[in-house]
Amino acid sequence: MSALLPAIVPAACRATAAVIFLHGLGDTGHGWAEAMAGIRTPYIKYICPHAPVMPVTLNMNMAMPSWFDIVSLHPHAEEDETGIKRAAESIKALIDQEVKNGIPSHRIVLGGFSQSMISRNKDISVLQCHGEADPLVPFIVGCLTVEKLKVMLNPSNITFKTYSKMPHSACLEVCINQGCFLFIYIYKYIAILLFRIQ
C-alpha cells in the first residue's frame, strides 16, 4: 500500500520556504496542518506528512500511525534504528522534492511534536518546547534530549523553552514561539542577502 499524501497548507504567494512538520504517535498530519494554517505566512508552504500505520511495542503492539516503533519511554531504552532510518529517508525525500520545486535547502525547516528526528547538520538551529506537566514524555527526557543535542550540535543554536503547566500538547504560547522562531530562522537569510546586495 502506498503512503498517504501529506496534508499541505500552501503559501498564499509563491513559496520561497517550507516547513515540514511531523505529528506525534497515533496522530496524522491533518490536525497539525490546521494549526499551521493559523500561523500561515505568505511565502511559507507547510507540509504535514502522515506516519505509516504499524504495531507499536509500547502500546501493546496496537497498530497506529508511528514514525518508528517505540519499545519504552525510559531514557535509555532500546531504539528502533531501522524504523528511525526509514522515517528519516521518507522525510529526506520530502526535502529533496521541495528542493526540486525550487526552495533552497537552507529555507526548509523540520519540526515535530513528540516523535521527531534530528539533522546531521551541526549548525542547524533547534527550538525544543516541552511541557513541565507532560505525563507521557517526562520532563527529564526533554532535559536529557537538550543535553544530547548540545553535544551533537552547536550549543548556541539550541533554544529550550519550557511551559510550567503544559501537558503532552501544544498551547498558544508554543505557537507564538514557533512563529517567532520561523520568522527569525527563515527571514534572516533574506536580511543577509539584502545586506550583501547593497
Catalytic residue numbers read: 114, 134, 168
Name 109's Cβ contacts closer than 8 Å, sequence gap at least 6.
Answer: 17, 18, 19, 20, 182, 185, 186
**Closest Cα partner for 58 from 143, 129, 132, 136?**
136
**Closest Cα partner for 35 from 132, 165, 169?**
169
Contact in structure between 41 and 84 (CB atoms under 8 Å): no
CA dihedral 86, 89, 94, 100 (to 10 degrees): -160
Cell numbers given for 159: 533554544
Spatial distance between the Cα atoms of 158 and 143, rounded to a whole number of angstroms: 12
